[in-house]
């Protein structure tokens, strides 16, 4: 298990100010754990593929949970993910930080025990993620991240869940639209971040995320920042490139993929910026050209692209008119981390993978976000990226 303690910077707002960026920041130490339960890389690929298939099925128009589960790839519950210690009532739960979904729910491992602040709404709740699902009852309760608290938050309490062993559930930071039809008798409901704004705890419905790649083979480090209510200007360099978000996820358009000076395609791809996905997925046409240009091959054992000799060219794409680049040291899995991926041998592997031909065909997962600061701005309906500081 890889544990990473991550600071959270909460940006407060004095009533009457126009922006959360115009006031002093209140810095809170919030431990997040970057958890690995992986025994083999192919299980990560299977889990991500199931999540991607779920996105594609939603685009295809299936809104029924059972229908969307049909055709999901078989998954062994092994994950790399970031967990937040979230207090619901007076219990602490380890919840996955997920910008690809919007429900907050508990009870996968640690069972929920109602206290005086909890209210059972009597409504059923059900969500499937492709790589897992849960169903149960909606409650409202007090939710806190190290003392940053909202009351009356909608919480799913799982009666049953699948493929969430080792975690307690999810804290969803996706757009409100993703809550649609997940709770019986309710069209949509506010997310935890929206509740914080409505109750005056923070000023704007903005989440800033700074993750960091592992160094060496360590299993614990303090090297990241979450920002609720604005952006942390010390977490990135240069300026943030923004583009309008595409419903219903934190969807964006990306284009002009390249490997070094070799174009991999100029067509615009439909992408999701997703902290809940591990790898980076690109359209099949881009992926195929990437294999040819990089002299990589699909390794059937791991499900990853393998190189007998480490590439020397950068991988890049264009987002919002700005080129974002990964060096080989950034897109290759560090050899010091092979044990954490269940990889053996002396070959080289990348986290760039095949996203298929149907939209969404591109996922910007957290292995990319460990090098770029990301901003999920509900207030202005946009997504931003900037190089990590």
Domains of the chain: 3-210 (2.40.70.10), 234-387 (2.40.70.10)
Q: What is the pLDDT of residue 82?
A: 81
Measured distance CA(252)–CA(363) in Å, rounded: 10
Measured distance CA(105)–CA(108) in Å, rounded: 9
Q: Which of 274, 354, 361, 377 is catalytic?
A: 274
SS3 content of the chain, % helix, strand, coil (to 5): 15, 40, 45
| Burial group, residue 328, by CB count within 10 angstroms (0-12, 13-18, 19+) | middle
Contacts of 227 (CB under 8 A, 6+ apart): 8, 9, 10, 11, 206, 207, 208, 209, 210, 235
Q: What is the pLDDT of residue 138?
A: 98
150 to each of 83, 201, 318, 342, how far by Cα in Å? 19, 8, 37, 40
What pTM value is reported for the model?
Answer: 0.89
Contacts of 83 (CB under 8 A, 6+ apart): 32, 33, 34, 35, 94, 95, 96, 97, 167
Contacts of 181 (CB under 8 A, 6+ apart): 63, 187
Q: What is the pLDDT of residue 40?
A: 85
Measured distance CA(292)–CA(264) in Å, rounded: 10
Please check whether residue 202 is in contact with residue 10, taking contact to mean a CB–CB distance below 8 angstroms. Answer: yes
Gyration radius (Cα) of the chain, Å: 20
Q: What is the pLDDT of residue 226?
A: 80
Q: Which of 48, 94, 98, 141 is catalytic?
A: 98
SS3 145: strand
Strands 220-228 and 3-11: parallel
Q: What is the pLDDT of residue 147?
A: 81
The token duo for 36 is 């690995």
Contacts of 269 (CB under 8 A, 6+ apart): 253, 254, 255, 257, 282, 283, 286, 361, 362
| Burial group, residue 123, by CB count within 10 angstroms (0-12, 13-18, 19+) | middle
Is the previous residue joined to 360 through a cis bond, with omega within 30 degrees of 0? yes
Examine the residue annotation and report whether 181 is marked as an active-site residue of this protein: no
Measured distance CA(365)–CA(331) in Å, rounded: 12
| pLDDT by 10s per residue, the chain, length 389 | 333 343 444 443 322 222 333 333 333 435 466 767 677 888 889 889 989 999 998 887 644 333 323 233 333 445 577 888 899 999 999 999 999 999 999 999 999 999 999 999 999 999 999 888 999 999 999 999 878 899 999 999 999 999 888 889 999 999 999 999 999 999 999 999 999 999 998 888 999 998 888 777 765 555 667 888 888 888 899 999 999 999 999 999 999 999 999 999 999 999 999 998 999 999 999 999 999 999 999 999 999 999 999 999 999 999 999 999 999 999 999 999 998 888 999 999 999 999 999 999 999 999 999 999 999 999 999 999 999 99
Examine the residue annotation and report whether 98 is marked as an active-site residue of this protein: yes
Q: What is the DSSP string of 205-263?
A: SEEEEE-----TT-SEEEEEEEEESS--TTSBSS--EEEE-BTTTTEEEEEEEEETTEE
SS3 370: coil
Q: What is the pLDDT of residue 221?
A: 56
Contacts of 80 (CB under 8 A, 6+ apart): 2, 34, 35, 36, 38, 44, 278, 340, 366
Residue with tokens 């890389």: 41
Contacts of 55 (CB under 8 A, 6+ apart): 100, 130, 249, 272, 360, 363
Q: What is the pLDDT of residue 184?
A: 97
């Amino acid at each position: 298990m890889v544990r990473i303690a991550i600071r959270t910077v909460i940006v407060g707002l004095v009533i009457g100010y126009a922006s959360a960026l115009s006031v002093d920041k209140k810095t809170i130490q919030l431990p997040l754990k970057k958890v690995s339960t992986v025994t083999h890389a192919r299980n990560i690929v299977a889990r991500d593929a199931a999540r991607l298939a779920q996105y594609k099925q939603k685009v295809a128009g299936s809104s029924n949970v059972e229908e969307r589960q049909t055709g999901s790839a078989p998954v062994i519950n092994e994950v790399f993910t970031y967990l937040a210690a979230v207090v619901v009532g007076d219990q602490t739960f380890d919840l996955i930080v997920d910008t690809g979904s919007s429900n907050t729910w508990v009870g996968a491992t640690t069972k929920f025990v109602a206290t005086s602040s909890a209210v059972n709404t009597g409504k059923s709740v059900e969500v499937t993620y492709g790589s897992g699902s849960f169903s149960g009852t909606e409650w409202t309760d007090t939710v806190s991240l190290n003392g940053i608290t909202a009351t009356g938050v909608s919480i799913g309490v799982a009666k049953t869940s699948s493929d969430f062993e080792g975690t307690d559930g999810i804290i969803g930071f996706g757009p409100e639209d993703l809550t649609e039809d997940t709770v019986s008798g309710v069209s949509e409901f506010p997310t935890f971040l929206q509740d914080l704004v409505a109750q005056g705890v923070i000023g704007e419905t903005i989440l800033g995320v700074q993750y960091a790649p592992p160094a060496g083979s360590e299993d614990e480090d303090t090297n990241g920042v979450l920002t609720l209510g604005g952006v942390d200007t010390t977490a990135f360099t240069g300026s943030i490139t923004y583009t309008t978000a595409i419903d219903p996820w934190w969807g964006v358009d990306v284009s002009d993929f390249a490997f070094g000076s070799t174009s991999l395609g100029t067509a615009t791809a439909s992408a999701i910026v997703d902290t809940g996905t591990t790898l980076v997925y690109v359209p099949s046409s881009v992926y195929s050209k990437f294999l040819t240009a990089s002299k990589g091959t699909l390794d059937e054992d791991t499900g990853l692209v393998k190189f007998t000799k480490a590439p020397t060219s950068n991988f890049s794409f264009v987002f919002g008119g700005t080129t974002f680049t990964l060096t080989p040291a950034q897109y290759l899995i560090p050899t010091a981390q092979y044990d954490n991926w269940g990889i053996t041998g002396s070959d080289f592997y990348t986290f760039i993978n095949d996203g298929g031909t149907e939209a969404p065909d591109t996922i910007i997962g957290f292995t990319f976000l460990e090098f770029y600061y990301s901003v999920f701005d509900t207030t202005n309906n946009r997504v931003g990226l900037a190089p990590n500081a």
